[in-house]
Structure 1
């Protein structure tokens, strides 16, 4: 079902977005490789302070590779839900008009419930579908108020199953950004961690790499034929390798 969101959803005129939360990231020395003179390896301080943590709220659009990652030091539902609603409202406002082939029927919604062990109860009145949203199955993502808000705005939530986080392509972009922002660094405050992630995301968005669903075993040979580059964290692939640009320095 989630694989079909990427391969079939766009042909139906639907936008596919992925949500996830990364972290918490601590203010401690972070592992990572670096270039050092022979016999003089990089050393991390043996004393440091645990001065709070930071979390990154991730909104990812695989079709063009754009990512939005505001940071926060705490992420209860009172913080998460307003952010989700603000972001989704902005996305809906920027959507193109519905395609003439768009199906406004109730069956168009119900097709995304097939095969679920615990189907979602759809409300009696439904607007045309506009967005397919892939997110994990945290209890906060399934609150009645939030789910009804999604339906009322034409958004169909697709929850990843337990131990199925690899189905969410936001996992891959989070690993890419974490490596570029945190590897080998020693943050001293949550604000510094958030600043690094935002700077790296801005650099990524200047020349983003679209992600293409790669599946798992069934598509292994096809990926090889197409010379796709598999990403860690999910089943996503790219058409070109994701490399750290030459001369790009990580934030200090």
Structure 2
């Protein structure tokens, strides 16, 4: 039998969006049982087991509404207080490590705050603190930074009609490396193994143009990295693309991209339009994302006994990529990028300089 208050409370639990699904199901079970429905019929009606219906029916009879809440779980009470957690977090962020160390370790922090190493490690994981890691960053000093960001992001999000947008860059100093001993293949319970030392057989550079619309790549390896090699690659792009469309090329500020010879060639080929990223902003050129794929999926674990073998391997990988290309999609607007950088600068001391 339910009182009016109990029935209203159970109905609220079944309808309220913030109620947990478990609590809502328990309330439905009690309401169905209060209508005189047997346990087996309630189980079929609600799609639960008969034992579950019997359990919550009995809990409600014994403790009424309080019986539908989860009971405290067994186990030892918590020993690590909030004050101890706060002390670890504050010390990690604000205090210098002892003995002139460059960063805290779990052991040095445990000694400083009087906890064990495992507790410190758990606190750091919970708050995402990683004193042993450091990332690189660099703010652009380009006086036209905002204009260039809007220009390039505009090409990504709203490319010109009847034109191609190509992200162009060079992956320089690709090394043909060979290990001093054969690579041991992967075996069950053992990864592939290679020697830590290697033999250099020379370097080459890869000039690449990523088509934003299709994800295909125009690639060309060059032994040197001068304006002559860039001119050769521009001619390759000119031949590999339809002659009746304009080409918008996104490049960085490398010196060879702005030589008089390049300017003269562009004057004779007016369908080429160059858009330069701000200084120290290579992250804005989406072809860098493709270079990361090339490095992770091909170059990092490959061995080559000559530069020619490296170039042939890279060419074959590009052909395989172009057979099933995956275009990269830019999602952030220029305003979102600028707002993010402004908020970051606000957290940096003396950011005005």
SS at match of 2:166: strand
RCO (CA 8 Å, sep 6+): is it higher in 1 or 2? 1
Cα gap change, 1:207 to 1:76, in 2 (>3 Å): same
Cα gap change, 1:36 to 1:159, in 2 (>3 Å): farther
Question: Is the counterpart of residue 60 in structure 1 residue 210 in structure 2?
Answer: yes
Question: Would you say the 8 A contact 1:21–1:58 is kept in 2?
Answer: yes
Structure 2, unaligned runs of 5 or more: 1-150, 180-184, 338-353
Question: Would you say the 8 A contact 2:172–2:225 is kept in 1?
Answer: no
User: When the two structures are superposed, what TM-score results if normalisation uses the length of structure 2?
Assistant: 0.46
User: When the two structures are superposed, what TM-score results if normalisation uses the length of structure 1?
Assistant: 0.63
Write the deviation string for residues 163-219 of structure 1: whole angstroms up to 9, x where unpaired: 211111111111112222223222221112111111111111111112222237938
Count of residues paired in the alignment: 180
Write the deviation string for residues 38-95 of structure 1: whole angstroms up to 9, x where unpaired: 2x443223553211112111011010011022212222222221221332244252x4
Within a 5 Å distance, the mapping from 1:10-89 to structure 2 comes to 10=160, 12-28=161-177, 36-38=187-189, 40-89=190-239
2:302 pairs with one of 181, 185, 193 = 185
Question: Would you say the 8 A contact 2:165–2:248 is kept in 1?
Answer: yes
Question: Is the counterpart of residue 210 in structure 1 residue 327 in structure 2?
Answer: yes
RMSD of equivalent CA atoms: 2.5
SS at match of 1:49: strand
User: Which of the two has higher C-alpha Rg?
Assistant: 2
Question: Is the counterpart of residue 138 in structure 1 residue 254 in structure 2?
Answer: yes
SS at match of 1:51: strand
C-alpha distance in 2 between matches for 1:210 and 1:6: 12
Report the CA distance between 1:139 and its aligned residue. 1.0
Task: Pick the structure with more helix per residue.
Answer: 2
What stretches of structure 1 move > 6 A for 4+ residues in a row? none
Within a 5 Å distance, the mapping from 1:162-201 to structure 2 comes to 162-201=279-318
